[in-house]
Amino acid sequence: MRLSTYFLPTLKENPSEAQVVSHRLMLRSGMIRQTSAGIYIWLPLGLKVLRNIEQIVREEQNRAGAQELLMPTIQSAELWQESGRYDAYGKEMLRITDRHDREMLYGPTNEEMITDLFRNNLKSYKDVPKMLYHIQWKFRDEIRPRFGVMRGREFLMKDTYSFDLDEEGARESYNKMYVAYLRTFARLGMVAIPVKADTGAIGGDLSHEFQILAETGESTLYYDKAIEEFELHKLTGDIDADTISSLQGIYAMEEEKHDPATCPVAAEDLRTAKGIEVGHIFYFGDKYSKAMGAQVTGPDGKLVNVEMGSYGIGVSRLVGALIEANHDENGIIWPEAVAPFKVGLVNLRGKDEACTVASEALYQKLQNAGVEVLYDDREVGGGVKFANMDLIGLPWQAVIGPKGLEKGVIEFKNRRTGEREELSEDELLNRLTA
Amino acid sequence: MRLSTYFLPTLKENPSEAQVVSHRLMLRSGMIRQTSAGIYIWLPLGLKVLRNIEQIVREEQNRAGAQELLMPTIQSAELWQESGRYDAYGKEMLRITDRHDREMLYGPTNEEMITDLFRNNLKSYKDVPKMLYHIQWKFRDEIRPRFGVMRGREFLMKDTYSFDLDEEGARESYNKMYVAYLRTFARLGMVAIPVKADTGAIGGDLSHEFQILAETGESTLYYDKAIEEFELHKLTGDIDADTISSLQGIYAMEEEKHDPATCPVAAEDLRTAKGIEVGHIFYFGDKYSKAMGAQVTGPDGKLVNVEMGSYGIGVSRLVGALIEANHDENGIIWPEAVAPFKVGLVNLRGKDEACTVASEALYQKLQNAGVEVLYDDREVGGGVKFANMDLIGLPWQAVIGPKGLEKGVIEFKNRRTGEREELSEDELLNRLTA
């Protein structure tokens, strides 16, 4: 993509409305624009990151055996009256009356709808276990939306629902998702700490929040350092039940529930860090299946309420959370797995014909090699181009200037470390396609 | 994917609520389920088709130079008051009041929002031409939703918006989209007839509807047969302005506007067929830019209202329209480009160990070769399996039975032609990976 035609409206100044660094950087780097309180347009650069994250989330759901479907954003109020949550949900639910005066709502979550789908279509113990998920926009009418996409009103969520015959099966499904979540966040380049959590409005018996570590995090965590080591070593290949069980036994608490007096972790093993919640999983048994009559015939011919769980990842929130965890004073530093482009190509001297010829040639070669490249071919000075590339945070920068060309080299910069090397065109292509 | 675990709730009987064949077949084949009038869940099989179509639409938009972004579903009423369409849009607009009593709406289209984005971020003639698009769920509160996803209330639309300095540029953008649309529908395996159209609620000067041909179509078209020939031969490579101009000059009219007395086409060249509208493009000049102040500074330093166009494709509607054009009495017949799986593998005799061993082996080999395969490994009779495969309409069926195994062959059936061949496993793999 050529920057001269790309729709990337970057800002030099910090927007006054943005209180947190991810919000500031997303506005400045031209990733998003607000249209109403807590509602955003995802501009081309932001959308690419969002889709990259979404795809990693999807792949790990599929790997865990969950099947993707897509539920609509607008729901009928009737199902929520059946579950008892229509009144309970309060003002965060965006309530709508259609032209025929039917009560509708913009879904904040989908337990009711998926339970209804299940009861209408699946009847036998042979139909379970089943894990179904979708990645869809949700709406929560927050009283005070803030922090950009971290606490927006319209947000993209991946929500999975599991259906099992009994508690044992339901806990297996829960553990599959637990592992899928650790894998997802590891692929995004994050350490995620699973923290035992309250079940709140969803209800139920067992719940973990997944918090990624970031200095600017909203909550303070205390955890046994073993959890970090565990994740680094154990997250490849199949994970057996014992391993999951011991992982879930490792201490991790939010500050409000952490009591130094009773904490079982030795002081030298206890770590504390700030975290941002990016996922939440629940096992809630028959709370919805009982209320809504989602039953299957067991092997013995008797009807049983299915055992359910639900599992959310805030996909759009993750964009902000990743920036909170990956930035410096100059801008964003994207992990390779989610970067909107792999490399930024800077033509340092657009009026120098040799520079332009070399830049155009490298741009073509990178595209031919399938490397996602953003080519700054604009007629602006080198300082503006460098600042812009640092701001948008592509993992690598390739700079073509007159001095380098004389020596036959291109400057190759690692955005995260700041390390610069001088490479020949062939070396650079090898590095980016390896 | 194994059918024994796939969430594919097929129906034997025709659902009484479905009036058109695509709606019947989408319900019966387990592609969708209705949750409220005109609102559907896309089950895994249906979602795969929807995503395949969406991806082809996206690729052709990108090829034409349009840039993808994503606007939210919920919009503020203010922008629509500015353009004058808030009152004009009537009851089809789903109007919403949020917790702070602000007037919002579920976007039925995005001219206002994209014009606002443009005016806030782009200021110079150097910033145009620009084509921006998104693929997002829309809502139109139809008084009588019907025909399944063909006229739903919540539907997926691709909408592109073009911004140019002058009318000449705007017509070039219009023509790029015109060609992109013909290419898109050709890749979907359809003949699309571009028909001059009224501009209606969008407003403007120039408009074409794209109608794909289907016996069950809603409108009757009269057109010069040259248009079909044209499409077949001219839609590869770059298309020059003269070619587009002569293509746009070929006669094509809806029945209401077709007057045999004045029709310029000789009787032997005139064709008539039923069509389904799947796309609509508009050039409307400065209608929105003037009302909303979307101006750029021209090369002469003077401010000019940008010239705009908008271009829609009904992505979810296309799923139904493709079925209207591709089915027989046994079910759907997917064009290869959008099929949810390429081949259905039928194990004819699950209790015969040799059949099961051979089926499992072929299933593995197909997956390893990257062929999308749906494997019917259920413990049901062959008749049920054949009927099911015909219903869901995968392009190819591979049947493993005891008689074939004795001869060392697999039955390979073309769903569209019904033609059956006996192939060795190697031959079959070659055919499916060629």
In order along its 434 residues, chain B shows pLDDT tens digits of 999 999 999 999 889 889 999 999 999 999 999 999 999 999 999 999 999 999 999 999 999 999 999 999 999 999 999 999 999 999 999 999 999 999 999 999 999 999 999 999 999 999 999 999 999 999 999 999 989 999 999 999 999 999 999 999 999 999 999 999 999 999 998 889 999 887 666 666 789 999 999 888 889 999 999 888 776 555 666 677 888 888 888 999 999 999 999 999 999 999 999 999 999 999 999 999 999 999 999 999 999 999 999 999 999 999 999 999 999 999 999 999 999 999 999 999 999 999 999 999 999 999 999 999 999 999 999 999 999 999 999 999 999 999 999 999 999 999 999 999 999 999 999 999 98
CA distance A91 to A119: 29
A133 touches A101 (CB < 8 A): no
Q: What is the pLDDT of residues B377-420, one digit of tens each?
A: 999 999 999 999 999 999 999 999 999 999 999 999 999 999 99
Looking at this predicted complex, what is its ipTM?
Answer: 0.96
CA distance B198 to A55: 40
Among B residues 10-39, those touching chain A with beta carbons less than 8 Å apart? 33, 35-36, 39
Pick the closest to residue A64 from A284, A324, A244, A226 (CA basis): A244
B338 touches B394 (CB < 8 A): no
> What would the two tokens of residue A354 be?
């040799």
Q: Which amino acid is at A187?
A: R
Class of the CATH domain delimited by B21-332: alpha beta
- B122 in contact with A at a CB cutoff of 8 Å? yes
- Residue B386's alpha-carbon distances to A154, B3, B354, in angstroms, are 44, 13, 20
Pick the closest to residue B191 from B275, B261, B65, B302 (CA basis): B275
What is the DSSP annotation of A240-258? -HHHHHHHHHS-EEEGGG-
Pick the closest to residue A163 from A299, A60, A65 (CA basis): A65
Q: Which among A42, A102, A154 has the least Cβ separation from residue B74?
A: A154
Q: Which among B68, B72, B92 has the least Cβ separation from residue A47?
A: B68
**Which DSSP helix (H) or strand (E) runs through A407?**
helix A402-407
Among B residues 69-98, those touching chain A with beta carbons less than 8 Å apart? 69-76, 91-92, 94, 96, 98
Pick the closest to residue A184 from A290, A304, A303, A337 (CA basis): A337
Q: Which among A7, A47, A96 has the least Cβ separation from residue B96?
A: A96
Measured in whole angstroms, how far is the alpha carbon of residue A321 from the centre of its chain? 8
> What would the two tokens of residue A68 be?
């993707």
- Residue B255's alpha-carbon distances to B190, B211, B219, in angstroms, are 21, 13, 7
Cβ-proximal residues to B12 (8 Å cutoff; 6+ apart), any chain: B28
Pick the closest to residue B337 from B143, B128, B52, B71 (CA basis): B52
Pairing of the two strands A192-196 and A327-328 = unpaired
Q: Which among A67, A70, A99 has the least Cβ separation from residue B41?
A: A70
- B67 in contact with A at a CB cutoff of 8 Å? yes
A51 touches A135 (CB < 8 A): no
Q: Helices A315-325 and A44-63: crossing angle, nearest 10°? A: 110
Q: Domain ranges for chain B, please list them.
A: 21-332, 341-433
- B44 in contact with A at a CB cutoff of 8 Å? yes
Pick the closest to residue B72 from B105, B33, B30 (CA basis): B105
- Residue A395's alpha-carbon distances to A433, B422, B432, in angstroms, are 14, 53, 39
Q: Which amino acid is at A31?
A: M
* Interchain CB distance below 8 Å, B50 and A72: no
Measured in whole angstroms, how far is the alpha carbon of residue B301 from the centre of its chain? 42
Cβ-proximal residues to A343 (8 Å cutoff; 6+ apart), any chain: A366, A371, A372, A373, A374, A394, A395, A396, A397, A398, A432
Q: Which amino acid is at A36?
A: S
CA distance B249 to B341: 39
Collect all residues of chain A within an 8 Å Cβ-Cβ radius of residue B143: 99
Task: Kindly report the three-state secondary structure assignment for every residue of A315-357.
Answer: HHHHHHHHHHHCEECCEECCCHHHCCCCEEEEECCCCCHHHHH
Collect all residues of chain B within an 8 Å Cβ-Cβ radius of residue A104: 36
Positions of chain A with pLDDT under 70:
199-204, 231-238
CATH topology identical between B21-332 and B341-433: no
CA distance B238 to B246: 15
- A241 in contact with B at a CB cutoff of 8 Å? no
Q: Which among A6, A41, A68 has the least Cβ separation from residue B72?
A: A41
Pick the closest to residue A203 from A334, A83, A74 (CA basis): A83
- Whether CATH 3.40.50.1370 fits B341-433: no
Collect all residues of chain B within an 8 Å Cβ-Cβ radius of residue A73: 73, 137, 154
B-chain residue closest to A90, CA distance: B99
CA distance A28 to A42: 13
